[in-house]
Amino acid sequence: MQDVIIIGGSFAGLTAAMQLGRARRRVSVLDTGLNRNRYAEAAHNILGADGTPPGELLARARAQVAAYPTVALISARAVSVSGAPDRFIVTSATGEQLEGRRLILSYGIVDEMPVIPGFAECWGRTVIHCPFCHGYEVAGQSWGLLYSGPFSLHMPALYRNWTDDLTLILDGHAIPDDERQKLKARGVRIENARLVSIDHENGMLRRVTLDDGKSLAMGALYAHPRSHPAADLHSQLGLDMKQTPTGTMIAVNEMQATSRPGIFAAGDLATAMHSVTFANSMGSLAAMGALQSMMV
């Protein structure tokens, strides 16, 4: 019997595992090795590790967590989960079963890449979603913003910290006239046509082409594709969910507790704001929440 089973061993899950290992709790971490930011060349805004490749950060983290004798790192996908506090049962794709007193879900989300030539090849390099994560490296260049929903209309004001050369690609969507005028007053160029292809060199964006035949040179394209949880375990457990601008997240309280006792969630799965720093913070809170729940 494990004290805590953690499903998902990226930044949130490993942070939780380290905290629990240091508390001398028995912990098992199941992970597929498919961290969401594996496409990025570098992770930023991480104090003491700014600009380090995500894979390198995770390799260091795994080695450090593995040093705690009560923590087991298991390379496996969890396919089913059931039970209640003090006897949750997790089954892996290989048929192995683990029993645990508490659960932490940190298996993250998957981005749904649009079928646009060049999009996937540039994702995480010059087709990006967060200016705080990647904006500094492409500051001062011509940027594009691919419309994803009403929230896209508020992004240009933020992007002005990095560039004053911005084109909003509406991708065939209509926006209110008053919003269009506000954007134009800020100096934002607006293209109504759909994005059909991205010209790049090894992931470095050069131009985008629209379905009206127009070709636009730019150094970065901001996009916010729809996403979905990387597994369905939250559905198996019947957890409450919340809508985000691009998908759904598990609803949690201030200690990362879900709607069911004994189950906690952390990382991209449990917030609409995604970064390594947020994931680390939530992993730590989830570990503390699980520990406190076992002290009752």
Q: Which amino acid makes up residue 236?
A: Q
**Strands 195-201 and 263-265, sheet pairing:** unpaired
- Torsion of Cα atoms, 248 then 9 then 133 then 266, to 10°: 40
Non-local CB neighbours of 141 within 8 Å, separated by 6+ positions: 163, 165, 218, 219, 220
Non-local CB neighbours of 202 within 8 Å, separated by 6+ positions: none
User: Digits of tens for pLDDT over the chain (296 positions)?
Assistant: 999 999 999 999 999 999 999 999 999 999 999 888 888 888 898 889 998 999 999 999 999 999 999 999 999 999 999 999 999 999 999 999 999 999 999 999 999 999 999 999 999 899 999 999 899 999 999 999 999 999 999 999 999 999 999 999 999 999 999 999 999 999 999 999 999 999 999 999 999 999 999 999 999 999 999 999 999 999 999 999 999 988 999 999 999 999 999 999 999 999 988 899 999 999 999 999 999 999 86
Identify whether the C-beta of residue 22 lies closer than 8 Å to the C-beta of residue 68: yes
Rounded to two decimals, the pTM is: 0.93
Non-local CB neighbours of 60 within 8 Å, separated by 6+ positions: none
